[in-house]
Amino acid sequence: MSNPSLLILAGDGIGPEVMAEVRKIIDWFGTKRGISFDVTEDLVGGAAYDVHGVPLSDATMEKAQEVDAVLLGAVGGPKYDKLDFSVKPERGLLRLRKEMDLYANLRPAQCFDALSDFSSLKQEVVSGLDIMIVRELTSGVYFGEPRGIIKEGNERVGINTQRYTESEIARVARSAFELARKRGNKVCSMEKANVMESGILWRDVVQEIHDAEYPDVELSHMYADAGAMQLTRWPKQFDVIVTDNLFGDLLSDLAAMLTGSLGMLPSASLGAPMANGRPKALYEPVHGSAPDIAGSGKANPCACILSFAMALRYSFDLGAEADRLEAAVNAVLAKGIRTADLLNTEGVTPASTSEMGDAVIAALEESL
Ligand code: IPM
Ligand code: MG
């Protein structure tokens, strides 16, 4: 049998630097655990625009459809700010999500023990925090029609449309309930049913799927603004949160920062199962391309490394190896090895991106 295939799209800014560390981890699993992948690399975002004039070429899109999983670094940067909207780096990522139909975006917000003094919130509020945001990723206002900037009389009007079909809501609700059963068995669904019809439908459909298929899971509903407030007040009340594309974008950044560093958090974007039973999947760190530190060796590779751990877990059914990798990252933090984003004390020399990657490899070695 041939090895499972991975397409690496490192992208822009710190993407290539953090991905280089993931390559080391992938190689380690090949040589030390006999878990090998056929890896190909390609371009996305500004890096693709520079070569092809588009942020994702058709050829790359085709490859992404064929592989077992895609690993993405980050897209975007000030160099591309003035580009036409249709070819901005972000459009490459959005095309991947849409055409691969990656409707369930899993964004864990986990507080690493060694970092619980690092949040802007009180330690007791965040220590031990472990929540999972399931963000709908292929519909809603990100993709709804009509959209655009039109002329009305003598002024311009910007238009976007929030649109959800029942089946779009139902499938992401199922993803959330399935996950909850493997965790704390609780789902909180967030929308704005008080002002949006799409929110009313969202609430109804989530409730119907619950009652018909997942009555054993505890379900609650919250308006998304109240949800944001509750997330900062007492985040440990949540287990799985399911929400739409735009609210999920906002709430997942908020939840991520509860844990102290965006540089630690991975994500998985999953679609329907392929012929081989694996879900269509793309894994990427929650953080962006951080152009301000790109090329300086300061970036934290942990979020990207942990995204690979999610790939092991969700695409390749290697939960124990994912645990091993997550434990290695934890061990590195516990030893006090930190990249600059994880340090708030003066006088401590931060680890560079590659030193952090090497430290994770060393911790993996110790796990054998
Ligand atoms: C994210 C990002 C993207 C989004 C951008 C880069 C298009 O903020 O993945 O959260 O808005 O979805
Ligand atoms: Mg975002």
pTM of the model: 0.95
Return the pLDDT at 203.
Answer: 98
Catalytic residue positions, numbered: 142, 192, 225, 249, 253
Residue 34 lies in a domain: yes
Q: In what order do the strands lie in the sheet with 69-74?
A: 38-42, 5-11, 69-74, 279-285, 266-273, 104-110, 130-136, 240-243, 186-191, 218-223
Return the pLDDT at 346.
Answer: 76
Return the pLDDT at 77.
Answer: 97
Same domain, 23 and 86: yes
Containing structural domain, residue 308: 1-108+262-368
Return the pLDDT at 113.
Answer: 84
Return the pLDDT at 257.
Answer: 85
Ligand 1 pocket check: which of 83, 88, 93, 95 to mutate, most ligand atoms within 8 Å of Cβ?
A: 93
> Which atom belonging to ligand 1 lies closest to the Cα atom of 137?
12
Domain count, the chain: 2
Mean pLDDT by 10 residues, the chain (368 residues): 94 98 98 98 98 98 98 97 96 97 96 85 92 97 97 98 98 98 97 98 98 98 98 97 97 88 91 95 95 96 98 97 97 94 84 98 98
Same domain, 167 and 85: no
Helix-strand-coil split of the chain, %, nearest 5: 45, 20, 30
Same domain, 352 and 307: yes
Here the CATH number for the domain that contains residue 281 is 3.40.718.10
Residue 348 lies in a domain: yes
Same domain, 251 and 182: yes
- Look at residues 242, 258, 274 and tell me which one is the last residue of a structural domain: 258
Same domain, 322 and 224: no
Distance 90 CA to ligand 2 centre (A): 11
Closest-CA residue to 254 (of 121, 74, 103): 121
**Is-contact 105 248, C-beta < 8 A?**
yes
> Which atom belonging to ligand 1 lies closest to the Cα atom of 267?
9
Residue nearest to atom 8 of ligand 1 (CA): 249
Return the pLDDT at 116.
Answer: 83
Return the pLDDT at 361.
Answer: 98
Return the pLDDT at 262.
Answer: 82
Same domain, 219 and 174: yes
Q: For residues 81-97, b (16+ Cβ closer than 10 Å) or e, as one string?
A: eeeeeebbbebbbbbbb
